[in-house]
Amino acid sequence: MAHILFVEENQNRAQNVQLMLEFAEHAVDIVPDARLAIEFLDHGLLPDIIIGKVIMAGMDGLQLCRHVKSNQLWEHLPVMLLAEAHHGQGIQKLAQRAGACAVLFHPLQRDLFLAEIDRGIISAQMQTNPYRNANPFDDPKFLGVYNQWLSDQLYQSTYNLNRTSIQRDLGDAHIAAINSVSSVLGENLDLHKTQVRIVEKLAQLLRANVAALFIRDGERFTLGHIAGFGIPTPHVYRSHDSESLAPIWQITGNIGALLFDTDNSVADIHELFGLDVAVQSILLSPLVARGDVTGFVFLGRMGKQDKFTSRDAEIVFSVASVAGLGLRGAQLFHELENAYEDLQELDKRRREFVAITSHELRTPIAIMLGYASLLIDMEENPDKRTQLETIEKQANFLTSMVDALLNLHELTESNQPIQLRCQRFDLQSFLDQAMQVTQRNNNYSKVVNIELQCDPISLVGDEIRLMLAFNNLIDNAIKFSDEGNSISIHAIPHPHGGAVITVTNSGKYIPLEHHEKIFEAFYQVEPAITRSYGGMGLGLAIVKAVVQIHGGMITVESHPQGNTSFIVNLPAKPPDGYCQGMF
């Protein structure tokens, strides 16, 4: 390990070079310019090598090199210069004349860069050999001492190179293992399959005979999956309390993988986990996701001559961290699937309840209406007659709500495809009839003027269902209009056939965030407790369902200081296969 002084004002480039140097276990001090580097040396902090750029603000790299070599206290320090590719090969001669040990060009190749550093340091150490100027004839022991010094230097260099090689191999092994597990985790998000794949992949990478995965649930860890490779699937205890078992308690602290390779330590783990196979070494590593320990993996080898090593522990901890994220993703997906299934079941029950309730209410309401109508015809007292008419009006209102529920259920919840009873009709006559029916049946006790403008247009569709849709749309416009205001209905031909019908009122503003939601069943812009308008929020849902069955679409435009318009685009005829026939 060498001490390196690196001169670089570019922070990003400094960080990249620092990573290369620290990978080889070199200690690095970084200063932004040459003058600060000289101050660093003035304080007696002499590195093993100085690395700087050829071109720097203020004092450049060549000047720094000459300054170092002109000082008797520093002249032994090797200086390496880094140049850009466009500086050309001529810069090397200038650097040599300035006393630089080497010149490298960006972009740097890590292995070459580290090798040049080692060469520069070794060369400088040889230059400082106190015997370099000795005359062997004056000192018979010179050659022996000199050879010993060379041997020491060679041994140190070989040791450093081997250590660097080991670190590189370990880093490559980490990367390969992480990539291997990451590719497996990306295959699917099924929780059980993810657990199985993690166990199998870790066992393969670490050559484990026993592999198990435990999932954290509060303060307990429950067995998720276990497999034996080359042996029958072993038995282990399925659940462990993190507070009572020392090894597991250590794992929850996320301190790294735990290696057990002595007879006593392995025997303790055997007893704690209830293993029924004789393993000779064991690894326990936490599974971590966003800083939280979500579980741990258990790996065991049976061979006495093939025990786990500290290197295996480092690899499994790196891989387990990635596996922890994959496992957490699968857990969240599993929870989301369960929540979605629960919502679907609740929605199914809601739809069934609405359908059954609507059918059950229809008969008693019809009976109420029949008796109310009969009593009105028989009653001569004006006050009592008024009271009976109020009962009849409210019963009619209940009937309209029940009809709306049944219509919506038929349009959106039926298991059978909707078949339209199609016929050709004149749009102006149709809209005029819809306008009159809605005005006659509205329950809002307000006077609202409706203006109709319609170009000559002929359409094909289910006139009864379309009448239901436009009755709801016009009724909605009346509901949200003030007394005496006007509603306009404007229909024009669509350039590609069909018609564009716009229903506009000067009523309540609909904020943009509600434009999609108002077409959902039971949705109300105002909260249910404070809203000032009646209804269940079914009208626009029915309109949208009918329009879509005809192959059309409906949108809304609303302005804070202006009008609200509902725009219906209807094709000239429904899509093929929707019409039961022409009538």
Interval 526-541 mean pLDDT: 65
**pLDDT at residue number 401:** 67
Q: Tell me, what amino acid is at 185? A: L
**pLDDT at residue number 481:** 81
Within 10 angstroms of residue 115's Cβ, the number of other Cβ atoms is 14
- Report residue 582's pLDDT band, with 50, 70 and 90 as the boundaries: low
Q: What is the pLDDT of residues 56-66, one digit of tens each?
A: 888 888 889 88
Read off the DSSP letter of residue 417.
Answer: P
Comparison of pLDDT for 282 and 24, the residue scoring more: 282
Contact 39, 46 (CB under 8 A): no
H or E element that contains 468: helix 463-479
Which of 3-12, 141-150, 353-362, 399-408 is modeled with the greatest confidence?
3-12
User: What domains lie within the chain, and their CATH numbers?
Assistant: 3-128 (3.40.50.2300), 185-336 (3.30.450.40), 420-582 (3.30.565.10)
Residue % of the chain over a pLDDT of 90: 15
Q: Which 3 state secondary structure label does DSSP give 227? A: strand
pTM over 0.85: no
Catalogue the E-assigned strands of 272-402: 281-289, 292-301
What distance in Å separates the CA atoms of residue 459 and residue 383, rounded to the nearest whole number? 49
Please state which of the ranges 40-44, 95-99, 134-138, 507-511 shows the lowest mean pLDDT: 134-138
The 10 Å CB-count burial string (b at 16+, else e) for 348-371 is eeeeeebbeebeebbeebeebbee
What distance in Å separates the CA atoms of residue 578 and residue 545, rounded to the nearest whole number? 14
Nearest to 2 by CA among 124, 117, 98: 117
Please state which of the ranges 265-279, 322-336, 387-401 shows the lowest mean pLDDT: 387-401
pLDDT averaged over every residue in the chain: 80
Within 10 angstroms of residue 33's Cβ, the number of other Cβ atoms is 19
φ/ψ (deg, to 5) at 105:
-110, 140
Nearest to 4 by CA among 152, 165, 20: 20
What distance in Å separates the CA atoms of residue 468 and residue 538, rounded to the nearest whole number? 12
What distance in Å separates the CA atoms of residue 393 and residue 1, rounded to the nearest whole number? 95
Nearest to 569 by CA among 521, 511, 503, 519: 503
Q: What is the pLDDT of residues 486-503, one digit of tens each?
A: 889 999 999 888 999 999
H or E element that contains 557: strand 553-558
Contact 241, 214 (CB under 8 A): no
Contact 3, 48 (CB under 8 A): yes
- The strand order across the sheet containing 564-570 reads 449-454, 486-493, 499-505, 564-570, 553-558
Q: Tell me, what amino acid is at 272? A: L
Contact 281, 272 (CB under 8 A): no
Residue % of the chain over a pLDDT of 70: 79
Angle, CA 328 vertex, CA 326 and CA 331 arms, to 5°? 115
**pLDDT at residue number 153:** 56
Q: Which residues contact 381 (CB under 8 A, 6 or more apart)?
A: none
Q: How far, rounded to the nearest angstrom, does the alpha carbon of residue 40 sit from its chain's CA centroid?
A: 47
Cβ-in-10-Å burial (0-12, 13-18, 19+) of 375 comes to middle
Contact 580, 422 (CB under 8 A): yes
What distance in Å separates the CA atoms of residue 473 and residue 398, rounded to the nearest whole number? 19
What distance in Å separates the CA atoms of residue 549 and residue 394, rounded to the nearest whole number? 32
Read off the DSSP letter of residue 568.
Answer: E
Q: Which 3 state secondary structure label does DSSP give 49? A: strand
What distance in Å separates the CA atoms of residue 251 and residue 296, rounded to the nearest whole number? 8
What distance in Å separates the CA atoms of residue 343 and residue 500, rounded to the nearest whole number? 37
Nearest to 312 by CA among 240, 213, 208, 224: 208
Cβ-in-10-Å burial (0-12, 13-18, 19+) of 72 comes to exposed
User: In which region does residue 51 sit, left (phi positive, over 0), alpha (psi from -120 to 50) or beta (all else)?
Assistant: beta
What distance in Å separates the CA atoms of residue 442 and residue 419, rounded to the nearest whole number? 29
* Residue carrying the six token digits 């800083």: 291
Three-state secondary structure of 108-128? CCHHHHHHHHHHHHHHHHHHC
CA distances from 481 to 103, 397, 532, 533 (A): 83, 19, 13, 11
* Residue carrying the six token digits 């065991």: 300
Q: What is the pLDDT of residues 549-579, one digit of tens each?
A: 899 999 999 988 778 999 999 999 988 877 8
> In the numeric block, which tokens belong to residue 258?
């735990």
Contact 532, 526 (CB under 8 A): yes
DSSP bridge pairs for 489: 452, 503
